[in-house]
């Protein structure tokens, strides 16, 4: 028993000290995060480089995805949630299309900060988005404290043997066991610290999924700017409180798709967060009608969630768009010609491949850009709107702030249509920084 005790001690201490890795989930904290958002009528890509510890430099890059015509200044204001400390910086919007503005502010303390990014023209605010971030304090590497304790015990034991060489047998026994135990612990912890591959991450299951969020879409109007808008309220299904634990997914806090009942009009936009559980987005001119608004969000430690609501929006002066073309279709969108076809006829429940080819002036385009992390997005909707699918192009993701273009003018999508009816289908590509939306329809056979 005496020989077993020190080894049991060693095992116990290792078990206590073993680093448990709990998988954090997407919240804007630590490192670089990239998100797309529409502030006013300006689609922006924002990169937030969150420091660890404070005071430290917080870097925010803002990259308008089209010309910010009329805008003169960008203002970044960071406000600490508890102390209300603020730091801010303003930059003149550089002339020319799609130029990146970089903010560097020194944040004085750790904790939750609200970043407010405003776009101004000469007289007023014309767009705003707020982004919550968390700055965590610096922490020491795992096992540092157990290592110090183990080394201290080893030193004490060695010291006691030198100052007390003629000790009684039972004291010698304790010294010997303590020496073996503390030496073993020191060696094991030392190995764990210097050889990370020795550590095994114990997978943990997220069992804390959140209740559903309830969304409300409220049409509104900014009379000063003469713009129709949608306000979105996001509340917790069980408490009714504003939901502010929405995490980035596919490079945005909220994806919104607006489709009219005939599936002629299609918008895929990213409303700006203005306060906890509050979002807003500008609408372009649209024909009057009842539109289906689909909202895709993801709460921390939960899966993504899609909500739908019918809203009456639009004006009488804007014409409705024509019927989309059936496949195989060649569609002209601005300067681009996009061909969409399936490799086999679409049948219920059978994965079908849609091939998309883009050209300009009769020549294949050189490359397709990554947008929202993918080279292409496909959205499908059946006539009554019950089936709503969002499919990514086949291939690798790239969620970098300035994603590379990938050479080639083709992408493919695979989807199994669940019902035999005619689906409205939208292909979205980004070419030379411009988003191309291609409406087509596909009839699915039984």
> Taking the complex as a whole, how short is the minimal distance between the CB of residue 325 and Cu ion, in angstroms?
24
CB closer to Cu ion out of 255 and 375: 255
| Contact residues: Cu ion, CB under 5 A | 255
Six-digit token string for 367:
């490359």
Question: Phi first, then psi: what are they for 360, rounded to 5°?
Answer: -140, 130
Integer angstrom CA distances of residue 79 from 84, 103, 104, 118, 230 = 6, 15, 15, 14, 26
Which residues, other chains included, contact 87 with Cβ-Cβ below 8 Å and sequence gap of 6+?
77, 78, 105, 106, 107, 108
Which CB, 189 or 256, lies closer to Cu ion? Answer: 256
Q: CA–CA separation, 281 vs 270, rounded Å?
A: 7
Specify whether the backbone of 13 is left (phi greater than 0), alpha (psi in -120 to 50) or beta.
Answer: alpha
Question: By C-beta, is 132 or 271 nearer to Cu ion?
Answer: 271
- Is the bond into 313 cis (omega within 30 degrees of 0)? no
Q: Of the two residues 348 and 400, which places its CB atom closer to Cu ion in the complex?
A: 400
Nearest in space to 228 (alpha carbons), one of 281, 159, 189, 267: 281
Residue nearest to Cu ion (CB): 255
Q: Are 219 and 228 in contact (CB under 8 A)?
A: yes
First to last CA, the chain: 74
The nearer residue to Cu ion, 297 or 313, going by C-beta atoms, is 297
Provide the minimum distance between the beta carbon of 55 and Cu ion in the complex, in angstroms, as a whole number: 35
Q: How far is the CB of 305 from Cu ion (least distance, A)?
A: 14
Return the number of the residue (101 or 428) whose C-beta is nearest Cu ion.
428
Beta strands in 121-276 (DSSP E): 125-135, 213-222, 227-236, 255-259, 266-269, 272-275
Query: What separation in angstroms does the CA of 26 have from each of 35, 93, 142, 181, 278?
Result: 12, 30, 22, 41, 20
Judged by beta carbon, residue 255 or residue 381, the one nearer Cu ion is 255
Q: How far is the CB of 239 from Cu ion (least distance, A)?
A: 27
CA Rg, the chain, in Å?
29
Shortest distance (Å) from residue 68 CB to Cu ion: 20
Cross-strand bridge partners of residue 58: 105
- What are the C-alpha distances in Å from 355 to residues 232, 374, 411? 35, 15, 6
Contact 370, 430 (CB under 8 A): yes
Q: Which is nearer to Cu ion, 306 or 394 (CB)?
A: 306
Give min distance, CB of 127 to Cu ion, in A.
Answer: 18
Minimum distance from CB of 74 to Cu ion (Å)?
A: 22
**Cβ–Cβ < 8 Å for 339, 437:** no
Comparing CB distances to Cu ion, the nearer of 213 and 339 is 213
**Cα 124 from Cα 116, distance rounded (Å):** 15
DSSP 303: -
Minimum separation from the CB atom of position 337 to Cu ion (A): 25
- Least separation in angstroms between residue 379's CB and Cu ion is 10
We find the least distance from the C-beta atom of residue 410 to Cu ion, in angstroms, to be: 22
Nearer to Cu ion, 255 or 299 (CB): 255
User: Which is closer to Cu ion, CB of 257 or CB of 444?
Assistant: 257
Q: CB of 431: closest distance to Cu ion in angstroms? A: 18
What order of strands is seen across the sheet that includes strand 278-282? 213-222, 227-236, 278-282, 272-275
């Amino acid at each position: 028993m005496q020989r077993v005790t020190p080894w049991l001690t060693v095992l116990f201490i290792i078990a206590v000290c073993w680093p448990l890795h709990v998988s954090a989930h997407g919240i804007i904290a630590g490192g670089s995060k990239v998100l797309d958002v529409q502030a006013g009528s300006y689609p922006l890509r924002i990169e937030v480089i969150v420091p660890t510890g404070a005071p430290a430099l917080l870097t925010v890059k803002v990259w308008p995805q089209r010309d910010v015509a009329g805008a003169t200044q960008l203002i970044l204001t960071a406000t600490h949630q508890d102390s209300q400390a603020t730091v801010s910086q303003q930059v003149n919007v550089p002339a020319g299309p799609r130029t990146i503005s970089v903010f560097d502010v020194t944040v004085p303390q750790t904790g939750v900060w609200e970043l407010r990014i405003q776009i101004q023209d000469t007289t007023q605010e014309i767009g705003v988005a707020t982004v919550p971030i968390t700055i965590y304090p610096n922490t020491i590497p795992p096992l540092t404290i157990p290592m110090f304790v183990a080394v201290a015990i080893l030193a004490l034991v060695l010291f006691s043997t030198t100052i007390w060489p003629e000790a009684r047998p039972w004291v010698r026994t304790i010294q010997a066991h303590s020496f073996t135990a503390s030496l073993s612990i020191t060696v094991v912890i030392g190995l764990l610290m210097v050889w990370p591959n020795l550590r095994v991450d114990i997978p943990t299951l997220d069992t804390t999924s959140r209740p559903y969020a309830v969304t409300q879409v409220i049409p509104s109007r900014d009379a000063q700017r003469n713009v129709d808008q949608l306000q979105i309220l996001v509340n917790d299904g069980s408490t009714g409180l504003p939901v502010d634990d929405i995490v980035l997914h596919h490079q945005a806090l909220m994806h919104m798709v607006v489709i009219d009942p005939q599936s002629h009009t299609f918008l895929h936009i990213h409303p700006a967060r203005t306060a906890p559980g509050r979002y807003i987005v500008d609408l372009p001119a649209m024909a009057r009608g009842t539109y289906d608004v689909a909202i895709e969000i993801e709460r921390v430690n939960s899966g993504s969630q899609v909500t739908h609501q019918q809203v009456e929006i639009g004006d009488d002066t804007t014409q409705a768009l024509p019927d989309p073309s059936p496949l195989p279709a060649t569609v002209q969108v601005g300067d681009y010609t996009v061909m969409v076809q399936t490799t086999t006829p679409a049948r219920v429940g059978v994965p079908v491949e849609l091939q998309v080819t883009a050209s300009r002036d009769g020549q294949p385009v050189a490359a397709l850009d990554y947008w929202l992390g993918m080279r292409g997005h496909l959205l499908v909707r059946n006539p009554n709107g019950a089936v709503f699918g969002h499919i990514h192009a086949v291939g690798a993701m790239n969620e970098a702030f300035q994603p590379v273009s990938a050479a080639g003018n083709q992408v493919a999508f695979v989807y199994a249509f669940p019902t035999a009816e005619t689906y409205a289908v939208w292909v979205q590509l980004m070419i030379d920084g411009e988003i191309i939306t291609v409406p087509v329809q596909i009839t699915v056979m039984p």
